[in-house]
Amino acid sequence: MSSYLTGMNVLVTGASDGIGAELAVKLAQNGAESLILAGRNRSRLEETALRCKIPCRLVIADLATSEGVDQLLSEVSGEDIDGLVNNAGVGLGGRFEDLPLVDQDQMIFLNCQALVRLSHSLLQPMKVRQKGFILFVGSLIGYAGGPGMAAYSGTKGFVNRFAESLGWEMHDQPIRILLLAPGVTQTSFFKAAGISEDHIRAGQMSPEEVAGEAIRGLLSDRGVVVAGWRNRMLLFLVRFAPRWMVGLVSRKIFSQILTPGTDTEGKKA
Ligand SMILES: NC(=O)c1ccc[n+]([C@@H]2O[C@H](COP(=O)([O-])OP(=O)(O)OC[C@H]3O[C@@H](n4cnc5c(N)ncnc54)[C@H](OP(=O)(O)O)[C@@H]3O)[C@@H](O)[C@H]2O)c1
């Protein structure tokens, strides 16, 4: 049965793990013809490729660097790319002033600049061919904000706004722009960010569920997908509550990241 994705060649960044790996599998299951899977971990990319069961090309590139982004773009140059999934991203947990600036710079580059550069380079040919999509992985925290993940929240606020604005800009073009804003998802993300998963539990979803909702949103050209009904309710509250109240709740939820060893009231455990 043919679908919007039938015959498409799609580039997925951060395809070696978590949400990106599941997005790649779902793209393949929903008609994509071939995939370009990007990441740094070759063996994990190979595992994703095996699960996809369609032709996959692997590109090893560190997208936290300008050279890595240029390398990925040069490896795909001359190829028709029908879809771009800007998924690669990392978080950093802790007090802003305690986290090394070099790590925060790299995170900002990966989470923001890399996807701006990839989108800028690949959107123009999509417009010429009058076909294509870009899926951005933002986050619920980009709407709410999160103490203990201040710079990360900022990067995701950027992704959310950038993707939505670009979608509005493209309204008269046959190019689909989708923002996926997941809430807490069970992946390696928190461990890699230096955050104990015991501290972040609210409404966890599996990466398969999140990817499934994203692909359904892409197929129906929904524009924005907030994965999970609990997260949609949370976003509703974030939008209508005064910001001081959002800050108060946020401080309670994230208190363990700010001061490990305290309970959610901020008292020592
Ligand atoms: N998990 C959550 O609760 C959650 C919630 C909201 C939004 N998100 C967003 O979802 C996206 C995927 O995260 P995830 O939860 O699936 O985390 P994950 O399982 O840790 O996956 C992160 C992916 O990003 C890639 N990556 C990390 N650093 C990279 C670099 N320097 N260059 C190239 N690729 C890099 C990793 O591949 P390699 O290690 O192979 O490079 C991996 O495939 C991120 O943008 C994240 O911000 C996650």
Domain residue spans of the chain: 9-258
AA letter at 41: N
CA distances to 16, 101, 154, 199 from 98, rounded to whole Å, are 29, 9, 17, 19
CA of 172 to the centre of ligand 1 (A): 31
Residue with CA nearest ligand 1 atom 2 = 185
Q: Which of 25, 186, 187, 225 to mutate to test the pocket of ligand 1 (most atoms within 8 A of CB)?
A: 187
**Residue indicated by tokens 């001061």:** 259
Distance of CA 132 from the midpoint of ligand 1 (Å): 23
Banded pLDDT at 261 (limits 50, 70, 90): low
d(CA 92, CA 98): 11
Pocket test for ligand 1, best of 40, 197, 209 (most atoms within 8 A of CB): 40
Which atom of ligand 1 is closest in space to residue 16's alpha carbon? Answer: 43
The CATH architecture annotation of domain 9-258 reads 3-Layer(aba) Sandwich (3.40)
**Closest CA to ligand 1's atom 36:** 14
Residue 196 pLDDT: 80
- How many whole angstroms from 86 Cα to the centroid of ligand 1? 10
> Which one, of 155, 206, 167, 221, lies nearest residue 23 by Cα?
206
pLDDT in tens, 204-229: 899 999 999 999 999 999 999 999 99
Closest residue by Cα to atom 44, ligand 1, is 89
130 Cα to the center of ligand 1, angstroms: 30
Query: Which residues are the active-site residues?
Result: 152
Question: Separation of 106 CA from ligand 1 center, angstroms?
Answer: 13
pLDDT in tens, 159-203: 999 999 999 999 999 999 999 999 999 999 999 999 887 666 656
| Structure token pair of residue 37 | 């899977």
Residues 6+ apart with CB under 8 A from 149: 91, 92, 93, 141, 193, 195, 254, 257
Burial 94-116 (b: 16+ CB within 10 A, else e): bebeebeeeebebbbbbbbbbbe
Question: What would the pLDDT profile of 6-35 be if each residue is shown by its tens digit?
Answer: 999 999 999 999 999 999 999 999 999 999
Q: Which two tokens stand for residue 112?
A: 């923001």
Q: Which atom of ligand 1 is nearest to the CA of 64?
A: 31
Enter the pTM of the model: 0.95
Which sign, positive or negative, has the C-alpha torsion 146, 150, 154, 155? negative
Q: State in Å: Cα 19 to ligand 1 middle.
A: 7
List, chain by chain if needed, residues with CB within 6 Å of any ligand 1 atom. 14, 16-20, 39-41, 44, 62-64, 87-91, 110, 137, 139, 182, 184-185, 187-189, 192, 207
Q: Which two tokens stand for residue 126?
A: 């999509």
Question: Tokens at residue 193, please?
Answer: 């960010």
Residue 132: the pLDDT is 98
Give the Cα separation of 8 and 175 in Å (integer). Answer: 13
All residues at 6 or more sequence positions from 175 whose CB lies less than 8 Å from its CB, including other chains: 123, 126, 127, 130, 131, 132, 133, 134
- The predicted-structure confidence for 117-164, as pLDDT tens digits, reads as follows 999 999 999 999 999 999 999 999 999 999 999 999 999 999 999 999
Distance CA 111, CA 152 (A): 8
